[in-house]
Amino acid sequence: MLTENLNWQEITNQLSHSVFLILEDASFLYANQHACEKLKYSPEEMSKMKVFDITPRYQLVSWQDTWEKFKTHKRTQHESTHRDSEGNEFPILVNVTYNDDAADQPFLIVHTYDLTQSQRDRQQLLLAIKAAKVGFWDYDLESGNVYVSPELYHQVGMQVGEKWDVDVWTGILHPEDHDQAVACLEEFQSGRDEEYLNVYRLKHSDGGYRWFESRGQFVTDTTGKHIRMVGTQVDITTQKSTEEEVRKMLQKSEAVSQSLARSNRDLEQFAYVASHDLRAPLRGLIHLTSWVREDAADANIELPDNVLEHLRKMHDQVERMDALLSGLLEYSRVGNRNHMQRSVRLQDILKDSVELSDVPETFEIVLPEKDITWVTVREPLQRVFQNLIDNAVKHHDRDQGKIAITCQETASDYVFSVIDDGPGIDDKHHGKVFEIFQKLHPSAGDEGAGLGLTIVQKLVQTAGGQIEIHNASPRGTEFRFTWPKEITEEALN
């Protein structure tokens, strides 16, 4: 995830103002350390909140209309207020950038600056702006003279008092920004634009370029004639670097996701082809051991005991390899079959699962009294129950046993448990039971592939659920898994 990238977090957490990433539904994708401290919320609390929770003005206007304005203008600045967790409100200056580059969904990059001091005292406002390194300019439209503040000189590495006018400004504009920046100024002077907002790069005296955002407005005389333009210039190089880092990380994240998806598809396809194609020669080997015995019998040749033992071992090993390949083939197919959703009854699924499982008559199967009818994919769910029942029987340490199946319900899921009274599984092995080809209690005559629980986990996760293992009391094991009431089209495909 982008917000988990340490380099990106370090950049934003070093800033002395708040930074937010906001999604179209008004939720916070990210809030930097300064924002959390200023608003007195933890990062976890912020991730569950909406813009309306900290910005009262958005409770009175349509967020969708506001979003469309941000989308249209791409970059805007305005004043607003924030409200912290204690209900205290304070004024802020807001810089908003709409970003839809290299992302699966657009979002806003928002920088906010606390203006509390500015509303208490104008002098304190000037000091605060100076500390924030905001440059001022005053452009006399009649004479062409331009006054710039000391901070603006410092922004480009010039000495205070050096000549500064429109020609100097255009002369240090980045070549790629020159035409757009000059056109923006001319558009505003002509009266075609109501607001002067210009973003450009200026050449610093050290030879490098810095990003700036300039805003201004007209000053009129008593007749309403425009006589001056006054405004500010803010260094947004750090902000631009952050945006570029966001863009690069999004591109990298998207590329990695696509690469992983391709790798997973390739691996599953390889597993399917390999397991399918290798089974044919294995079946031939099984037949070969039988033919050797038959040919020896037809020729009245009595094979030595050691040869018969070797043939038996060969047959058993080939059978075991065939079971492994069959399990691998089934595992590779999970998620690749198009199962149709249809109305099902829980009791029908459980009864069929028990019937298809090899359950001894000495075992007691307890099903939930309550029946459930809902729309889902039947085959994967039945396979989950069947594998869990088979696993409970296979690894039981007694001739008699009990397997209980329970069902609970949450707002979005059904929670099923398959509980046995077998020997149980040591806590230290809980993390291994779902690993591929893992067999914690291999026993004589057990030719399983060690894939049953691995397939169960993949089936559950493919449907959008989760599975856990717990120790039952007084003995035994509980496999507890969730199954969504509604399975998404994405999971089905």
Tell me which amino acid residue 33 is: Q
Name residue 374's beta-bridge partners.
344
What are the chain's domains? Answer: 2-122 (3.30.450.20), 134-235 (3.30.450.20), 247-333 (1.10.287), 338-493 (3.30.565.10)
pLDDT at residue 84 in the model: 93
pLDDT at residue 282 in the model: 65
DSSP states of 227-258 as a string? EEEEEEEEE-HHHHHHHHHHHHHHHHHHHHHH
> Which pair of structure tokens corresponds to residue 346?
């829980």
Task: Give 53-108 pLDDT, tens digit per residue.
Answer: 998 777 667 788 889 888 988 888 777 889 999 999 888 888 899 988 755 789 99
Task: Give 148-172 pLDDT, tens digit per residue.
Answer: 888 899 999 999 888 899 999 999 9
Handedness of CA 24, 26, 27, 30 (dihedral sign): positive
pLDDT at residue 449 in the model: 52
pLDDT at residue 279 in the model: 60
pLDDT at residue 250 in the model: 84
3-state secondary structure labels for all residues of 95-162 = EEEEECCCCCCCEEEEEEEECHHHHHCHHHHHHHHHHCCEEEEEEECCCCCEEECHHHHHHCCCCCCC
pLDDT at residue 255 in the model: 78
Name residue 414's beta-bridge partners.
409, 483
Contact 481, 387 (CB under 8 A): no
Average pLDDT, consecutive stretches of 10 residues, N- to C-terminus, the chain (493 residues): 62 89 92 94 93 80 84 83 91 87 80 73 58 82 84 91 91 95 91 87 95 91 80 91 87 79 66 60 72 80 82 74 61 62 93 89 94 91 91 90 95 96 86 68 50 86 92 92 86 59
> CA distances (Å), 370 to each of 26, 355, 389, 408, in order?
41, 20, 19, 10
Is 0.85 topped by the overall pTM? no
Name residue 28's beta-bridge partners.
22
Contact 147, 137 (CB under 8 A): yes
